[in-house]
Structure 1
Amino acid sequence: MTRYARITGTGSYLPPRRLTNNDLAAELAQRGIETSDEWIVERTGIHARHFAAPDVGSSDLALEASRNALEAAGITAQDLDLIIVATSTPDMVFPSTAAILQHKLGITNGCPAFDVQAVCSGFVYALTVADAMIRSGSARRVLVVGAEVFSRILNFNDRTTCVLFGDGAGAVVVEASEEPGILASDLHADGSHVGILCVPGHVSGGEVLGSPMLTMDGQAVFKLAVGVLEKAARATLDKAGMTDADIDWLIPHQANIRIMQSTARKLKLPMEKVVVTVGEHGNTSAASIPLALDHAVRNGQVQKGQNVLLEGVGGGFTWGAVLLKM
């Protein structure tokens, strides 16, 4: 009997503090930085984002999203065999945010837990790892989480980047199944593009060396993202023996509405088939895809039996896609 991996529950969580573009513009004005709701919306499609409180970490957001996903799947935390957290903003240098999350969930069964660092592609990477672990028989029930507090690494003197990002978490429970669930995936990386999107600082001798703030060449990222996302999507469809016409929903990384629109056009998909949450969430990096997936499931957009294509691109440069049957 063939063993498949299938998503059985989704969950998400956004910190309570919501900042509209006008709210953010007012805060930036106090720093002498000029921006506006019109300027942000025109370039990104973002209207608002959520920021976590100073004492709230990625593991705290992950905890709430995980509880929602576990409840939706109808299982308890003690039933898990593996925890994978995708994050670029971990609670600590070590241990992993996944290990911290395991403790906060009260899990005492000794299941393995680790982080995946692929920035905005992190959830796609983590979901692919979960699929492989389940198919190999190494795990039966896996919690996969994307969680970020990107507000901690933003340079609020740079209006081209600080208006883009938000905090949040999304989670899924993936279980072994006799029915196909995760149909195919395609992952890539190219380290030669490291400089166009990065946080180049690191800790040494008790000090931060280099800049601990996000830096990005927006035009270079846009140009690269549009091309690689189409290729990853088509490669994934080819592996599954499907075509563009078989996609019921596209859930891309929620970075910029223009990138999402361009990708949809290349895949010949109307925007009515694209799940869009960037307007309210901003770019939540590894959390953006599971946040959007949970939003679409709970709103009744994504239905059981439908084909859903997830795709992401992020610093590294990393990119990839996963095709699901819900």
Structure 2
Amino acid sequence: MVVIKGIEYYLPEQTELNNSGDKLTDKIGINQRHIAKKDEFASDLGIAAANILFEKNNISRTDVDYLIYCTQSPEYYLPSTACILQDKLGLSTSIGALDVNLGCSGYVYGLSLAKALIQTGQAKNVLFITADTYSKFINNQDRSVKPLFGDGATATLLSESSSIYGLQSFVFGTDGTGMNNLIVPAGGLRNPISEFNLQEEIDSFGNVRSNSNLYMNGPEIFNFSLREVPKSINELMEKEGFSIEDYDFFVFHQANQFMLEYLRKKLKIESDKFSIQVNDCGNTVSSSIPIALKRELLNGKIKKGDRVMMVGFGVGYSWAATSIVWHE
């Protein structure tokens, strides 16, 4: 089986508070977000998370033989940031290293890639890093996204094991027709940064943004999530031969409290079996599931032998679900 040997996370020191007592703040359940400094980038956060993983879990860098880096905030078009991370983390030059451009579903996708690499004998120990700095895409006057997103990074080590526990089945989904509902329209080769794309406009709700900023159609993202997440969960349960009651704990992408509670009630999941970890860090995109997973492990909510379901969903549209039987 393939097991998670360790998970750690890093949040930038700089923080921003949402308006306490504000109606929106109460609804989304996010009071504080961690924001990268001007000269602090996603790879810097990823390096910090990986170093914590090595130090706290007594993991040798020489044991890593593959590196997967998931981000939508790369510093360069090329080279792959994973190559830069290999050097800065002091990893062997004999490893494989690649970038994955995925957001809210990225952690589950990365787990599936790591499992495949290990089970096919291509790797024994995969270091999987997630890191995003969405704050650098957000206009400070855009209240539709600014209170939601925080920056952060995680590092997970996956290894082969003779244990009967570990990662189980996966299901995936993709629907590119939703691409324009969560997008940074300008900045790539199709629509480069220009004077035109830097011009700010005010929408009907008073939010200010340019084409170089993050845009999210909140209602459409919400509808997509309510449509596809339950379907993917039912598909996973059918694949594994279980019902919702057979899972001991649930860690979904931490979009916001309102969406999570809506999904929890729709799926009839007990509140004490369901993770909500957004209050002090917000939506950290690809890092949201592993941050929540680590915190629930520390809280004692997840124990050895527990069957934990993880579901990622969002930008793309892209979604994925998996389960893991915890081995420690």
Q: TM-score of the superposition, structure 1-length normalised?
A: 0.90
Measure, in 2, the Cα distance between the counterparts of 1:206 and 1:117.
18
The reply to whether residue 149 of structure 1 matches residue 133 of structure 2 is yes
Render the CA deviation track for 1:267-291: whole Å, top value 9, x for unaligned: 3211211121111111111111111
Residue type of the partner of 1:63?
Answer: I
The 3-state SS of whatever aligns with 1:251 is strand
- The residue number in structure 1 matching 2:50 is 66
- The residue number in structure 2 matching 1:96 is 80
Measure, in 2, the Cα distance between the counterparts of 1:299 and 1:316.
32
Measure, in 1, the Cα distance between the counterparts of 2:55 and 2:170.
27
Measure, in 2, the Cα distance between the counterparts of 1:297 and 1:97.
29
Residue type of the partner of 2:125?
Answer: R
- Give the CA deviation at 1:240: 2.1
Render the CA deviation track for 1:110-154: whole Å, top value 9, x for unaligned: 211111112111111111111111111111111112111111001
Render the CA deviation track for 1:245-295: whole Å, top value 9, x for unaligned: 121111111111122112222332112111211111111111111111112
CA contact 1:170–1:290 (8 Å) conserved in 2: yes
The reply to whether residue 85 of structure 1 matches residue 69 of structure 2 is yes
The reply to whether residue 208 of structure 1 matches residue 193 of structure 2 is yes
The 3-state SS of whatever aligns with 1:159 is coil
Q: CA RMSD in A?
A: 1.8
Residue type of the partner of 1:140?
Answer: K
Render the CA deviation track for 1:48-101: whole Å, top value 9, x for unaligned: 110011111111111121223334543212211111111111122222222222
Measure, in 1, the Cα distance between the counterparts of 2:68 and 2:295.
21
Return the match for 2:182 from 197, 200, 203. Answer: 197
The runs of at least 4 consecutive aligned structure 1 residues that moved more than 6 Å come to: none
CA contact 1:146–1:170 (8 Å) conserved in 2: yes
Return the match for 1:10 from 7, 10, 15. Answer: 7
- The residue number in structure 2 matching 1:232 is 232
Q: How does 1:33-44 map to 2 (within 5 A)?
A: 37-44=21-28
Measure, in 1, the Cα distance between the counterparts of 2:38 and 2:169.
39
- The residue number in structure 2 matching 1:244 is 244
Gaps of 5+ in 2: 198-210
Measure, in 1, the Cα distance between the counterparts of 2:118 and 2:38.
37
The reply to whether residue 19 of structure 1 matches residue 16 of structure 2 is yes
The 3-state SS of whatever aligns with 1:208 is coil
- The residue number in structure 1 matching 2:151 is 167
Gaps of 5+ in 1: 23-35
Measure, in 2, the Cα distance between the counterparts of 1:78 and 1:201.
40
The reply to whether residue 119 of structure 1 matches residue 103 of structure 2 is yes
The reply to whether residue 317 of structure 1 matches residue 301 of structure 2 is no
> Relative to 1, partners in 2 of residues 1:243 and 1:69: Cα closer, same or farther, differing over 3 Å?
farther
CA contact 2:185–2:191 (8 Å) conserved in 1: no
